[in-house]
Chains A and B, each alone.
Chain A
């Protein structure tokens, strides 16, 4: 095997040092790989624990909007039952007219959690300031 030629002391190092570049690239790769799942996870805040039920009811009826998620796929907005697809058209104007923009949500037992979240997400998107979830 040929031995390496000894480099004279006065000769410069002309190869670029790739180590910092590779390190920085690895950092970026790791950040992207690990942060991607977290970036797509979020949450929807519910009104504080003590506000469940009674405190939510203490908000004046005129200032709050009652929203019910029914197991048959419909939703009830202030005692008016509408199809789920018509929620935005029904709830939007009510939220615009409401001062407190508090939405009190009741949900039937058999409704999938995904549908429940879909309804409160739509309420938030339409401008609801607070979502209070009523228990049993």
Chain B
């Protein structure tokens, strides 16, 4: 059915929904993009630089080891003693059976501590492990 042509002197009585749809899309976009960030602890971490890019967009459980030694699993601060239990709780959540566990350690952290974090993740049942890096955009010499 063709719409009735509007006469030039006729008032527009329909509600303009374009602005409300635009604002709604803005909110949806903000939520979509910020959701992954909300699951990462806000700790000072200087990630090591690397060229390798793997599993960038994959959902994961993150273990953060800050430059000051603080630990966190996702966005929850934990102690070293409670680390393994905290990881296990995350891995036992529905749908997290084969989830990637990413260790986000500061570049200055001694490797022995990173190895302990990897061991804790393995002990808690992690099947897939990765170390987080900061994308190095410089070309190889």
Q: How far is the CA of A111 from the CA of B112 in the complex (A)?
A: 8
Residues of A in contact, count (CB < 8 Å): 45
Q: A27-B25, A49-B121, A125-B140 are in contact. Are A42 and B56 (CB under 8 A)?
A: yes
User: Judging by beta carbons under 8 Å apart, are B111 and A44 in contact?
Assistant: no
User: Judging by beta carbons under 8 Å apart, are B55 and A41 in contact?
Assistant: no
What is the interface of chain B mostly: helix, strand, loop, or mixed? mixed
Query: Using Cβ atoms and an 8 Å threshold, which residues of chain B touch A31?
Result: 29, 33
Q: How far is the CA of A125 from the CA of B53 in the complex (A)?
A: 10
Residues of B in contact, count (CB < 8 Å): 54
Query: Using Cβ atoms and an 8 Å threshold, which residues of chain A touch B55?
Result: 42-43, 45
Q: How far is the CA of A39 from the CA of B107 in the complex (A)?
A: 19
User: Judging by beta carbons under 8 Å apart, are A109 and B111 in contact?
Assistant: yes
User: Judging by beta carbons under 8 Å apart, are B107 and A48 in contact?
Assistant: no
User: Judging by beta carbons under 8 Å apart, are A46 and B9 in contact?
Assistant: no
A contact residues vs B (CB 8 Å cutoff)? 9-10, 19-20, 23-24, 26-27, 30-31, 34-35, 37-46, 48-50, 52, 69, 107-114, 116-118, 120-121, 124-125, 133, 135-136
24 residue pairs A–B, Cβ–Cβ below 8 Å: A19-B18, A26-B26, A31-B29, A34-B30, A34-B34, A40-B134, A41-B135, A42-B55, A42-B56, A43-B100, A45-B129, A46-B130, A49-B127, A107-B111, A108-B111, A111-B111, A113-B48, A113-B106, A113-B107, A113-B111, A114-B48, A114-B49, A117-B50, A135-B119
